[in-house]
Structure formats: structure tokens, C-alpha cells
A = this chain, B = another copy of it.
């Protein structure tokens, strides 16, 4: 069942430690098959060194296991909420990658200070507020997903133009058209988090990238006038 997707999700999960985003089992990647409405996600707390593609768990959009011996990631409900709300998302990644988590712990949006950022994220990457006690009681993981939606709605952000978010005191979620691009967006987010922190340390008066260069770089790679890559 969804063997091809399992392989993709498995590879995406292996890419997390490969790119230095994850130690031990502190992360998870998933991807959805829109036709069947089912998504595939990493099992919870399984060692990356022994994990196999066939360990990936198939889940429906309510977070119920459809196939698999193992329990899915404890963050499965957050993934499900996002897949239900945003039809354009094909893959989701959650990590505690060092530099993005530092911004999450600081409770700050990551501003667009360079073209490395602008090539992938069209503007600041938001940091969502803490969950309230009421929300935690209602269901931590589902409410985390709803908070991501709330944050994007309130700020009027396009989910694919800004393919990631920080959760205050926790860490990043990123997404994309598939699991692979969600991983890449996590790599970019961590790298710009690192670069922006030290840019500020080097020059407290450093400003965000001017809007026209942000536009130029984002649109060089995205949309109908893009001219980067082979298509």
C-alpha cells in the first residue's frame, strides 16, 4: 500500500540526520497521497539506524492508522490538521534543528535578511505564540496544527510562499509540494536562522533585505517568470 510514497517518506526521514537537522529520533517527515486521502509518516521513537521503508505508517486524515505495525509519530495529529486544511501541501517535516529552534526559543520571527532566505521564503518566517492551557487540555497536537493555521490566517500569509513556521519554545515545522521539498525548506530555515543570528551580532543595525531584491530573488525561482533550474 502506497509503497512508492513510503519509500519517499523513508528517504526524507533519513535526510534529516544527513543534513544535520536531527539527532536520535527528534524529527519526523510525512507525505500525502491526495487521491486516497491517506498520508505516510515515520513511526514514533524508532531508531534511524534500524528503521526501514516498510516501518512507515499509513494514516487517514483523522490521524487513524490504516496500515502499519508501529505507532505513528506522536505529532501525527498536527500533520493531519495541516493536510486537511491546505490542499496544496504534499509533505511536512518537523525537527528541533539547532538554529531554527533557537529562534523559536527566543520567540522571534526570522526576518528576511538575505537572498538565501528570499530564494525560498517570501518574507519573514513567523513564530507562533505558546498554546494556552485550554488548548493543551483539548489536545496538544491537534491544537498545534490549528495554531499554525491561525497564525497564517491572521497574518494573511500564503502557505506555499512561506513554507514554514516556528512554534514558540518548541521548534520548526516546514512543508512543501512533497516530502523532499519539505526537507529542503527545513535546511534553508535552519541555515538562514543561523546566518541571521550572527548577522545581528555582527551589525546590530543590519536591516532586512530591500523589498525589490526580495521580490527579484523569490520570483527568479518561483511562479511563471522563474528562470532557475532545468524547467
Contact = CB atoms under 8 A, between A and B. Distances in A.
Interface in A205-224: 206, 209-210, 212-213, 216, 220
Interface string A114-141: 1110010000000000110100100010
A203 interface: yes
Contacts of A228: 44-45, 74
Interface in A173-222: 184, 187, 191, 194-203, 206, 209-210, 212-213, 216, 220
A24 B108 contact: no
Stoichiometry, copies per complex: 4
A17 to B, nearest CB: 11
A131 B213 contact: yes
Contact of A199 (B70, B102, B191, B229): B102
A63 interface: no
Given A74-B220, A98-B194, A212-B136, A116 B45 contact: no
Contact of A230 (B43, B98, B191, B206): B43
Contacts of A44: 228-230
Nearest to A207: B107
A191 to B, nearest CB: 7
B105 A199 contact: yes
B70 A213 contact: no
A229 B24 CA distance: 12
Contacts of A45: 228-230
A114 B201 contact: no
16 contacts: A45-B228, A45-B229, A45-B230, A96-B114, A96-B115, A96-B116, A98-B195, A101-B114, A101-B195, A106-B199, A107-B203, A130-B213, A136-B212, A140-B216, A169-B210, A201-B201
